Structure 1
Amino acid sequence: MEIIPGVGVSLAKIGDRREDVEERIGGPVHGPGGRKAVYDTTPGIVVGYTPANTVEVVEIGYSGDGREEVFFQGVQLTFRFLDDVVADLTAKGYTSAPSDIGFNFHAGFAVWSMGSRTAQDLDPDAAEDDERAVAEGVTVAPYALFAQS
């Protein structure tokens, strides 16, 4: 799944009405009518809605099972070492600021790790105490949203 920085993904874009999103991908599997809704897509997406039921933020998780991952301009963003993702994006000219769980890119997205995966998930030869973070998800929103946190 390809992200559109500051906008979302083709299935859910910032400003889309909830009914339009659900017409494209079906109803949520968790959170119907709530501020956050989880949709059964590959990879899975979580959409944050405003009180007016328009898309405010789009989060996409990793698949990690050989199925589709999240990409931007040919760079795989999920289920890779976070430092490698940041290095590839920096080489393409994208700037970021670190956050407590990853990196917020000024273009309008964040790549993050919650620590639920280990280096051994990507590198079977990695030591048990290998602290390299695995990119587990991407959040897409205007950068101003990240700057608030």
Structure 2
Amino acid sequence: MEIIPGIGVELVKIGDQRSQAEERIGRPHHGPGGQRAVYATTPMLVITYAADETVELVEIHYSGEGGDTEVHYDGVQLTHRFLDDVVVDLHALGHTSTPSDIGHDFHVGFSVWSMHSLWARDVDPEAGEDDERAVSEAVSVAPYAYFAQG
């Protein structure tokens, strides 16, 4: 799934009404009517809605299946890879970022991050037991100001 920085993905965009988003992707399987809703897509979408029922943040999680089922931008696979490798590849393409507690916030309008629920062997079977490299688990898409607010 390809992201559109600062906007979302083809299926759902920042500013869409909840009803519009759910027409395209179906009802959530977790959190219907709540501020955050989880949708059974591949890869999985987690949408945060503002008080006015518009899309505020689009999260896309890793699938673990590779290829088109992972998140991509500008020819770079963003999920289910080592986080540092993702950042290096994006910086090499000229995309700038600010480090965060859990990853990197890119100025064009997305964040790549890890909550350390995956470990190095999930992406590299030859990684050692004590390999602490973070695996990029998800991408959050919103205007950069969303990430910079606090």
Structure 2 length-normalised TM:
0.97
Task: Report the Cα distance in structure 1 between the residues aligned to 2:27 and 2:121, rounded to whole angstroms.
Answer: 35
SS across alignment from 2:15: coil
Determine the structure 1 residue equivalent to 2:71.
70
Q: Does 1:44 align with 2:44?
A: yes
Determine the structure 1 residue equivalent to 2:59.
59
Task: Report the Cα distance in structure 1 between the residues aligned to 2:37 and 2:104, rounded to whole angstroms.
Answer: 24
The 5 Å alignment of 1:1-149 reads 1-66=1-66, 68-149=69-150
User: What's the offset of the Cα at 1:21?
Assistant: 0.4
SS across alignment from 2:128: coil
SS across alignment from 1:146: helix
User: What's the offset of the Cα at 1:125?
Assistant: 1.3
SS across alignment from 1:48: strand
Q: Is the contact between residue 66 and residue 80 of structure 2 (CA under 8 Å) also seen in structure 1?
A: no
User: What's the offset of the Cα at 1:66?
Assistant: 3.9
User: What's the offset of the Cα at 1:54?
Assistant: 0.4
The one-letter code matched in structure 2 to 1:84 is D
Task: Report the Cα distance in structure 2 between the residues aligned to 1:40 and 1:124, rounded to whole angstroms.
Answer: 28
The one-letter code matched in structure 2 to 1:3 is I
SS across alignment from 2:145: helix
Query: Deviating runs (4+, > 4 A) in structure 1?
Result: none
Name the stretch that deviates more: 69-78 or 119-128: 119-128
User: What's the offset of the Cα at 1:65?
Assistant: 2.9
Q: How many residue pairs end up in the alignment?
A: 149
SS across alignment from 1:46: strand
CA-to-aligned-CA distance 1:69-126 (integer Å, 9 cap, x gap): 0000110000000011001100110000100000000110000000011111111111
Structure 1 length-normalised TM:
0.97
